[in-house]
Amino acid sequence: MRASSLSNAKVIDLLNHYYIPVHVDGVYYGSNDKVPAAEKAAYQQVFQAFHRLNEERQKAGQPVLSTGTVHAYVLTADGKPFDSLHVAEAKPERVIAMLKRAVQELNVAEGKPAVKRAPQAAAPDAQPDSLVLHLTARYLFAKGQPEARKDIDDAYVPAAPVLGTARSGQWTALPSEDWIELKREEWLKLLPAGAVEAGRSWDLDKRVAAQLLTRFYPTTENNDLATNRIDQQSLTATVLSVKEGVVHARIDGSLKMKHAFYPGREDQNFVKATIVGYMDFEPATRRIGTLRLVTDNATYGSDSRRFGVAVRSVASPAK
Coil, strand, or helix at residue 88?
Answer: helix
pLDDT of 156 over the 70 cut: yes
Strand pairing class (81-86; 287-300): unpaired
- Residue 316 has a pLDDT of 60
Residue of higher predicted confidence among 136 and 121: 136
Point out which residues pair with 288 in neighbouring strands: 281
pLDDT tens digits, 246-273: 999 999 999 999 999 998 899 999 999 9
pLDDT of 319 over the 70 cut: no
Point out which residues pair with 242 in neighbouring strands: 247
- Residue 290 has a pLDDT of 97
- Residue 144 has a pLDDT of 87
pLDDT tens digits, 210-245: 999 999 999 998 989 999 999 999 999 999 999 999
What DSSP character marks residue 168? G
pLDDT band at 119 (very low <50, low <70, confident <90, very high): confident
pLDDT of 191 over the 90 cut: yes
DSSP 130-160: SEEEEEEEEEEEETTSTTB-SS--SSEE-B-
**pTM of the full predicted structure?**
0.80
Which run of H or of E encompasses 93? helix 92-105
